Amino acid sequence: MKHPVVVLAGGLSHQRDISLKSGRTVAQALRGAGHQVTETDVDADLVPILLATPGVVAFPMLHGGVGEDGALPEVLRMLDIPYIGSGPATCRVSFDKSIATRIVAGASVATPRQAALPHDIFRELGAAEVVKGLIRRIGLPLIVKPAHGGSSLGVTKVTDAAGLPQAMATAYAYDDTVVIEQFISGTELAIGMITTREGTEVLPAVEIRPASGVYDYASMYTAGETRLTAPADITEAQADAATEMARTVQQTLDLNGISRVDAIVDEHGRPVFLEAGVAPGMTGTSLVPVGMRAAGLDLGEVCSRLVSDAAGDAVDG
């Protein structure tokens, strides 16, 4: 049965434009797989559309804010609308990079040294003393990023103490809480996963080599700024370790649907967890579609399978 699908894209986060592109990609893929698809934003028309469509399945393609903080899945569950993606609690945990890192570290996964500071405490205590403490604890170089959100907005690599206050100010422009973490040198990876009732398929790791040295917003969405290689140019042992790490993160955070784990293979050859995404981008330059192609998967078939799984259709065989 080809269920009707409502693809949700847009929203009011800083990643609205990327969300719209992701939604368009998924909607086209689903139409190609034979589904009736409605594309809509998160507005007053959404609930009436969902309730007026018998057998509907929601396919959220919202990035940041309401798309990843657990609010939307909570509403969809309340309305008894099946949807693709992780549950509300998983979304809330994964959306906060500092909390997700601590939970994953508890599962014996390697993580960077890290601290998280709300803007109020940073301002009240005085930047000078806080900066000294951060550098003593974490060391240089380090990465400063908003605790919530994606697309590497507000992310800065800091190589000296003088640059830390401005990096903090940049990140605070996107979020009230900022994560400061150890910069890990090595091979940067994005590992996509597809999780259904049948289990989790871990996609080949995508190696990320940004020309600037930091995978920021411009590197993500500017053609030619980043070289993506899938499968990643790493040893078989490192690839196996990255896959196993991704599986551990998936089980620990209970990721579902399409998800992604970002990591770096450090100088010792071990994968170090950076963050997990419950709503990864699906644009022409996004990482998960690259991993799907490397695995020989068709996006339309994958999305259709996820719709069937969310609807609770019987599993063939």
pLDDT of 36-53, one tens digit each?
A: 999 999 899 999 999 999
Q: What would the mean pLDDT of 6-17 be, rounded to a whole number?
A: 88
Which bin fits 126, alpha (ψ -120 to 50), beta or left (φ > 0)? left
Q: What would the mean pLDDT of 173-197 be, rounded to a whole number?
A: 95
**Domains contained in the chain, CATH given:** 5-85 (3.40.50.20), 93-110+185-297 (3.30.470.20), 114-182 (3.30.1490.20)
DSSP letter, residue 45: T
Please state, in angstroms and as integers, the Cα–Cα distance from residue 147 to each residue in 16, 41, 154, 158, 239, following that order. 18, 25, 10, 17, 28
Bigger pLDDT: 241 vs 66:
241
Helices (H), ranges, the chain: 16-32, 46-51, 71-78, 88-95, 97-105, 119-125, 127-138, 164-172, 217-221, 236-253, 287-294, 299-311
pLDDT per residue as tens digits for the range 95-105: 999 999 999 99
- pLDDT, residue 212, reads 67
- pLDDT, residue 221, reads 62
Bigger pLDDT: 62 vs 223:
62
DSSP letter, residue 83: B
Q: What would the mean pLDDT of 235-243 be, rounded to a whole number?
A: 97
| Single pTM value for the model | 0.92
Q: What would the mean pLDDT of 228-241 be, rounded to a whole number?
A: 96
d(CA 190, CA 226): 13
Average model confidence (pLDDT) across the chain: 92
Q: What would the mean pLDDT of 299-307 be, rounded to a whole number?
A: 97
pLDDT per residue as tens digits for the range 105-155: 999 999 999 999 999 887 787 778 888 889 999 999 999 999 987 657 789
Q: What would the mean pLDDT of 265-287 be, rounded to a whole number?
A: 93
Judge whether residue 225 has pLDDT over 90. no
- pLDDT, residue 218, reads 64
